[in-house]
Chains A and B, each alone.
Chain A
Amino acid sequence: MTKTSTNLAARLESLIGASHVAAGPSVCADYAVDAVLHSAVAKPASAEEVAAIVRFAALEKLAIVPCGNRTKLRIGMPPSRYDLALDMTGLSQIAHYDPGDLTLSVDAGFPIAKLNALLFEHKQFLPLLVPWYSRSTIGGTIASGIDSPLRQFYGTARDFLLGAEFVDGAGKLCKSGGRVVKNVTGYDLHKLLIGSLGTLAVVTRLNLRTFPAPPASRGFVASFPTQEGALTLRSAIAASPLSPLTLDILSPGLAHVFATRTPATPEVAVFSDENRGAHQFSLPPVGDWFRPREWQLCAAFDGTPEVLERYARDLTRLAEQARATSTAILDDSTRPSVWGRLRESLSMLLEASPATVIFKLSVLPAQHAALFAKLQEIAERAGLTHGLVARAGGTLYFALLPATADDDTIGRLAQAAIQIFECASSVKGHAMLLFAPLSLKHAFYVPDASSGQHLNIWGPRRPDFALMHRLKSAFDPHNILAPSRLIEIPISSPATP
């Protein structure tokens, strides 16, 4: 332990007590962000303690990275400075739950799987079936902006986050929104926190709308020899009166990962009617109805027996019209095998290669046909295995899965990345590197000829970048909250604040 870190740890202990502070190489390695190390870990137990720590950090100009269970700290740029990890898992109370109003107020460190288990006792749930589900906290889920296949029906967090309490960069405890389902009182500052990676404020509590859990649900899988068949079926569903809970297209590459692997994180029951009694279990293998060399369309739907029957009938008919090679309706015993994997797509892809790169592309759904073809072409030209999952709303994840992580591979990945960014821009969409090995994040940092600016993992600069930058300063005037993770300072000229 260095003198600085001992000193920092000692001063933190006087703020929040010795049992809530840790320092030393091993514990700090656990909290490293993109290999950037820090000096101490603070684990506050209340919002007031969070505020005290941030005030202390603001005074001392110490950089803080807030985190939950650290499953998604790889998202974003490496922090330009990092002194203190703020482990929020000590804030784990449910402050308020009114099942009759379907509203919830929960501390940021509360585990999401445990939360859903509690809500399910009231036949309710949060439609956030996110990757690393059995380990994620609600705060990390919101701050990382990660999405869930259920967004097809329920939307994303911005559609059901009702309010938040958080500590700004000056160490003041603030709030916005409220706890009621409809509210226009004051600015919706909490919406800015979604996907902000802890760069604006440290979220201490979230107010969310809960939803009735599906009374009964089924899965549907249709396989196609080409992407066209899957896309035709998806368009037919979009034009029909059906409104499935999830609607995703999986490429053969991803189907192969699904068929050959199970997620490394233990599986937990999402709804109690699946795997009754078993709290943790491994996902059953996908059945022979799932065809790893083909394109698959996966959907989930819920309702009364009559509604389930209608979905099964209509989906099967539409799939046949789109020339599916096989279709399957999945019940409670078989559905988790695909649902669980679909939810864990990103975590499974990351485990599938030593240097997985996952792009998040946002385009209009009508652009998918052109985009799928181009993406595969880029990957194949670079000699890289790949996998793709496309949400019906337009967002898609494309993974490159190299066999090794050597310099040559990183070079090819960087080339491919630039082509993928161009490809997204050519269809008026946006691409970013959601997950990438650190060496690629560095290698990829290239000048963008068209704008004269540097291109980084976030993709082409948004036209409102200046406003984002000013908002960051309004929330965090001393630039101590996760500096550079989202609003970048060039990596090549590291961080002199």
Chain B
Amino acid sequence: MISGLVRDFERLLGSSSVLYQPEDLLLYEYDGSVEKGRPDVVVFPTTTEHVSRIVQLAAQHDLPVVGRGAGTGLSGGALARTGGVMMVFARMNRILEVDAENHRAIVQPGVVNHDLTLAAEPHGLYFAPDPSSWKSCTIGGNVAENAGGPHTLAYGVTANHVAALELVLPSGEIVRIGSKHGDAPGYDLTGLIVGSEGTLALVTEITVKLSRKPEAVKTLLAIFDAVDDAADTVVDITARAITPAACEMLDGWTLRAVEDYIHAGFPMDSAAVLLIEVEGLTESVTAQASAVTEVCNVHRAREVRVARDSAERELLWKGRKNAFGALGRLAPSNYVLDGVIPRSKLPQALRRIQQIGQQYGFRIGNIFHAGDGNLHPIVLYDPRDAAQFERALEASAEIIRYCVEIGGALTGEHGVGMEKSELMPLLFSDADFDLMRRVHDVFNPDSSLNPGKIFPLSKGCGEIRVRKPPAHAASTK
């Protein structure tokens, strides 16, 4: 059955754009999460018409289709959970237009996030969403997951920066939604599609809003001797209505791993640091930086350093953005969680995470977007030890449950995907699922696009399902 489909795909795309040998498929059974799922065939379209034709051919063979960008996702969103056709957008990577006057760009889904910012830079513009994987992740993937990043604190997530999309529906129909000007009457379909994790349509073209680079930037590194003090500082910065462009926390334990690897100049003996960036007019940045410093000092910061130049600033950010990679030096694998809580509850949440870690016997590190309450606890484990992996999953589920209990949500930016579909009933009722399912069916009535994601497979009450541990798992984000 597959061989006929492979021949059809090869006729459409050429043989170099179709993979089906088991050794080739291996690479595509992982993303950045701890999940796993192997496609039957992988295809690389280069045009919207290819995408449309591929979904039609797959439908003829009754196989599901899963879209994938760079595979850096952290929730199993871009994995072929039930096999089928994986559509990799890596070769649809052209920037079609940079319209500097109107602050817009039109890109294909496979354009790498950072490449768009590079293309916009000569005009004094940039693309605001900046996930840690920005040098490899694609804008199509950002759209699917409604990706965030450190600077979304001030500038918003992907959904705030997308004006229009071209979609391919499971029927093969090509539809344009939204508009370049971004303000047509009627239902906001763009707002619905962004963050729908590839379960409603395949996105083949994206019109994004570009932002203007600020006149001045100051990056501060506040060093603390107690995690509580750092957390209280974040609460206080928010409460005092200071809105930094970014406000990231790294705890001492992860900090040391990062410093060993990156040599960013992080202090080796601190309990936590805050990496805070303020942007805007020169006059405003000066005022904000002194306001931030004052708050840090009120909460017993040992020292507040200001990056002297862009080189020092970039080094600090390199430390932050490569932190998860650095942790690979400490354990065979790590599981990066993604939960979100009200910012006023940050100190108690960090204490609870440590308790849960102790209870399950894990060291849990924290490197996260403190300013918007988006936690990324990291559980280090050895995937060769099946029992330990199960325990890591249990500890993780307990942390996410706690986030929900204190008024938060299951995921701030990584998506539900395969990872959290069974936890969804913690937040949503049968009526909610029923409506979400009806909306799903408007676009994807046969579940032929990215099946087995977001919606719980079982009717459990937030029990994380029992999974087989993967042979290995590595996180890159």
Contact = CB atoms under 8 A, between A and B. Distances in A.
A430 B184 contact: yes
Nearest to B197: A184
B186 A462 contact: yes
A411 interface: no
B287 A186 contact: no
Contacts, number: 237
Interface residues of A, number: 76
Contacts of A243: 212, 280
A189 B441 contact: no
Given A185-B427, A187-B436, A470-B442, A101 B414 contact: no
B185 A174 contact: no
Interface stretch (A37-45, A299-307, A399-407): A299-307
Interface stretch (B42-50, B294-302, B306-314, B338-346): B338-346
B176 A464 contact: yes
A184 B160 CA distance: 13
A187 B409 contact: no
B102 A98 contact: no
A183 B340 contact: yes
Contacts of A173: 431
A372 to B, nearest CB: 16
Contacts of B409: 178, 180, 183, 185
Most-contacted residue by chain A among B241, B412, B413 (CB, 10 A):
B241
B75 to A, nearest CB: 9
A188 B195 contact: yes
A305 to B, nearest CB: 9
A174 B175 contact: no
Contact of B195 (A124, A179, A184, A363): A184
Nearest to A199: B187
B342 A429 contact: no
Given A182-B413, A459-B185, A474 B192 contact: no
A102 B413 contact: no
A471 B239 contact: no
A191 B191 contact: yes
Nearest to A176: B432
Contacts of B341: 180
Contacts of A393: 182-183
Contacts of B101: 365-366
A123 interface: yes
Interface string B25-69: 000000000000000000000000000000000000000000000
Nearest to B103: A238
B181 A155 contact: no
A468 B186 contact: yes
A101 B443 CA distance: 35
A366 B102 contact: yes
A103 interface: yes
B2 interface: no
Per DSSP, chain A at the interface is loop
Nearest to A75: B185
B373 A430 contact: no
B189 interface: yes
B216 to A, nearest CB: 8
B287 to A, nearest CB: 5
Interface stretch (B82-90, B144-152, B378-386, B466-474): B144-152
Nearest to B432: A174
Contacts of A159: 156, 160
B454 interface: yes
Instruction: Point out which of B185, B373, B436 has the most chain A C-beta atoms below 10 A from its C-beta.
Output: B185
Contacts of B183: 156, 362, 393-395, 430
Contacts of A98: 342, 344, 407
Contacts of B443: 467
B235 A100 contact: yes
Contacts of A307: 281, 283-284, 287
A181 interface: yes
B476 interface: no
B54 to A, nearest CB: 21
A173 B191 CA distance: 22
Given A186-B436, A212-B241, A242-B281, A363 B181 contact: yes
A453 to B, nearest CB: 15
B180 interface: yes
A200 interface: yes
Interface size band for B: 35 or more
A495 B393 CA distance: 56
Interface in A360-384: 360, 362-366
Contact of A241 (B189, B281, B344): B281
Nearest to A460: B184
Interface in B325-343: 340-343
A183 B192 contact: no
B415 interface: yes
B239 A180 contact: no
Interface string A473-496: 011000000000010000000000
A196 B185 CA distance: 9
A458 interface: yes
A186 B432 contact: yes
A342 interface: no
Given A100-B235, A184-B195, A306-B283, A463 B408 contact: no
Contacts of A454: none
A315 B299 CA distance: 39
B129 to A, nearest CB: 12
A184 B145 contact: yes
Nearest to B243: A212
B191 A180 contact: no
B256 interface: no
Contacts of A189: 192, 435-436, 439
B373 to A, nearest CB: 6
Contacts of A183: 340, 409, 411-412
B215 interface: yes
Nearest to A194: B188
Given A181-B373, A187-B192, A394-B181, A475 B342 contact: no
Contacts of A200: 187
Contacts of A213: 241
A195 interface: yes
A158 interface: yes
A54 to B, nearest CB: 12
19 contacts: A101-B344, A174-B432, A174-B434, A178-B340, A184-B413, A187-B440, A187-B454, A192-B192, A195-B185, A212-B241, A241-B281, A362-B182, A362-B183, A365-B102, A366-B101, A394-B183, A430-B184, A462-B186, A474-B438
Given A179-B407, A467-B443, A475-B438, 6 more contacts: A100-B235, A173-B431, A182-B374, A189-B435, A306-B284, A475-B435
Interface of B: 99, 101-102, 104, 124, 145-146, 148, 152, 156-157, 159-160, 175-177, 179-189, 191-192, 194-196, 212, 214-215, 235, 238-239, 241, 243, 280-281, 283-284, 286-287, 340-345, 369, 372-374, 407-416, 420, 424, 427-429, 431-432, 434-436, 438-443, 454
